[in-house]
Amino acid sequence: QVHVVESGGGLMQAGESLRLSCTASGTIFALYAMGWYRQAPGKEREFVAAITRGGTPTLIDAVKGRFTISGDFAQNTIYLQMDRLRPEDTAIYFCNADAQFAPTTGTAKFWGQGTQVTVSS
């Protein structure tokens, strides 16, 4: 099984910063990208950011200029640096890994358990 574990969530005040970490481990033939989704109360899960093992980042407009995604794929680890947090950033943040078990299998998304980020005004 592929194991994905996030950490770093917490209770913050607007304007403060947090850094989330995520590590993928287990049986992995190839790891192509890792990223972050979030789900706010009463809303659908949305994509936030992702980074390929080549270092190409993608972020949604709502977090550009405030969040930075980085990766250390030698350690199967990514980070999400969240600066100038806003109450609307409050959500459970889920890490995912786009990985392949073996050469004959396709690529699938593997998910972490989520880490809660709460931002008060």
Of 67, 40, 65, 62, nearest in space to 51 by CA: 67
Gap between the Cα atoms of 80 and 114, Å rounded: 13
Mean pLDDT of all residues in 1-14 = 95
Q: Residues 79, 66: contact at Cβ < 8 Å?
A: no
pLDDT at 1 over 80: no
Please tell me which residue, 3 or 101, carries the higher pLDDT value: 3
pLDDT in tens, 70-96: 999 999 999 999 999 999 999 999 999
* Interval 9-64: pLDDT, tens: 999 999 999 999 999 999 899 999 999 999 999 999 999 999 999 999 999 999 99
Mean pLDDT of 95-101: 92
Task: Output the pLDDT for position 59.
Answer: 98
From the list 116, 68, 75, 113, the residue with the least C-alpha distance to 92 is 116
Nearest to 107 by CA among 116, 115, 96: 96
- What is the structure's pLDDT at 27? 87
Mean pLDDT value of segment 5-12? 98
Is 104's pLDDT higher than 80? yes
